[in-house]
Amino acid sequence: MARADLLLKLVRASLSGDSNLIKKVVQAVIAEERVKQHNVIANQLEEALNTFPASLAPSPSRSVTPVLYDKIDSFLYSISPNKPLGNLVLNSLVVNAIREFVLEFARADVLRSYSLEPRNRVLLVGEPGNGKTSIAEVIATELMLPMFVIRYDGIIGSYLGETASRLEKMFNFIKTQQCVLFFDEFDAIGKERGDEHETGEIKRVVSSLLLQIDKLPSYVIVVAATNHSELLDKAVWRRFQIKLNIDKPNKDLIKNWLDRFESNFGHKLPAAKASIVNKLHGLSFAEIEEFGLSIRRRFVLSMPAPNLREIVNFSLEEVEDKKGFNNA
């Protein structure tokens, strides 16, 4: 059965005649039922929603509170997640943590029958290019939830109190959604309040942010990512039940990636795999992915008679140059 808070929102929307809010709440109920594998009722709700009569749209004379605040799209942008866990090459600790998290949320009704709530806040720490954003998308994909990404250019304002006000509007909208809310570069907004170089405004923003996160319902999953964990406020750390370090791939993971790359590419790379692994070691996953894409592009552009050995050797030379640039 749908959560009581969603049913309450649905009743309030019906009484106010707000058809937009009715649709949003029903969509949230459908998402929750699908998470619980209640596909029959989810399909029936979806069919009913598709036949939602236009005559129920609110008339200009009726008092309606809009669910979509002014310029909410300037605070958030949505993506349609399509990245299963099996598509990523991750170490076993991270994979197991994601699987356990997904299981908790998928079986939230079982936990609630024992007065327990699933964890809904994940903090990802690590250097750029190693899969933090992809992990957020994986969680949304595995749970069949929409994903919203914070737009700091729209959230952070230059006037006193403006950022906190925008955060409140954004969170009020998010509370109507069953979704994954993703904060990239979380240190941009969750900075240490004890930093003497920061203004009082930033400190107020962090306090407002923590308060809003505390008030989020458990059906909203918050995933935050940072490259600079040392900049985060100490109270921010306590808000996240799961904290994962996302490191650069070790040699075993690089070998796994190469095996998968050859399988998808349909060709064996004409070089000793151990040698390729050694040359790729030290790069981020994003840089390794770019190495693979470079091989595929050159292979296609040199058809009908591509020399794969030359292509791989040239791509590996680029890798060496990149490593030298990174170390400079």
The answer to whether the CB of 284 falls within 8 A of the CB of 304 is no
Q: Looking at the DSSP assignment, which residues form a beta bridge with residue 183? A: 224
CATH class of the structural domain 72-245: alpha beta
Q: Residue 66's pLDDT is what?
A: 36
Q: C-alpha distances in angstroms, 302 versus 269, 298, 299, 308, 315?
A: 16, 6, 5, 9, 14
Distance CA 89, CA 73 (A): 33
Q: Looking at residues 164-179, what average pLDDT do you find?
A: 88
Q: Residue 300's pLDDT is what?
A: 96
Task: Of 77, 182, 78, give the one whose Cα is nearest residue 122.
Answer: 182
Task: Of 327, 297, 145, give the one whose Cα is nearest residue 219.
Answer: 145
User: What token pair was written down for 149?
Assistant: 């990404």
214 pLDDT above the threshold of 70: yes
Residue bearing tokens 């993703």: 182
For residue 94, which amino acid is it?
V
Tens digits of per-residue pLDDT, 117-149?
A: 899 999 999 999 999 999 999 999 999 999 999
Q: What percent of the chain has pLDDT over 70?
A: 80
Q: C-alpha distances in angstroms, 47 versus 44, 51, 52?
A: 5, 7, 9
Number of helices (H), then strands (E), belonging to the chain: the values are 14, 6
- Report if pTM > 0.85: no
The answer to whether the CB of 127 falls within 8 A of the CB of 248 is yes
In this predicted model, which residue has the larger pLDDT, 15 or 116? 116
Instruction: Band the pLDDT of 69: cuts 50, 70, 90.
Output: very low
Q: Residue 60's pLDDT is what?
A: 35
11 pLDDT above the threshold of 70: no
Residues 6 or more apart in contact with residue 262 via CB below 8 angstroms: 268, 269
271 pLDDT above the threshold of 50: yes
- 227, burial (CB in 10 Å: exposed 0-12, middle 13-18, buried 19+): middle
Query: Where do the domains of the chain lie?
Result: 4-56, 72-245, 251-327
Average pLDDT over all residues of the chain? 83
Q: C-alpha distances in angstroms, 95 versus 13, 91, 165, 249?
A: 40, 6, 37, 14
291 pLDDT above the threshold of 80: yes
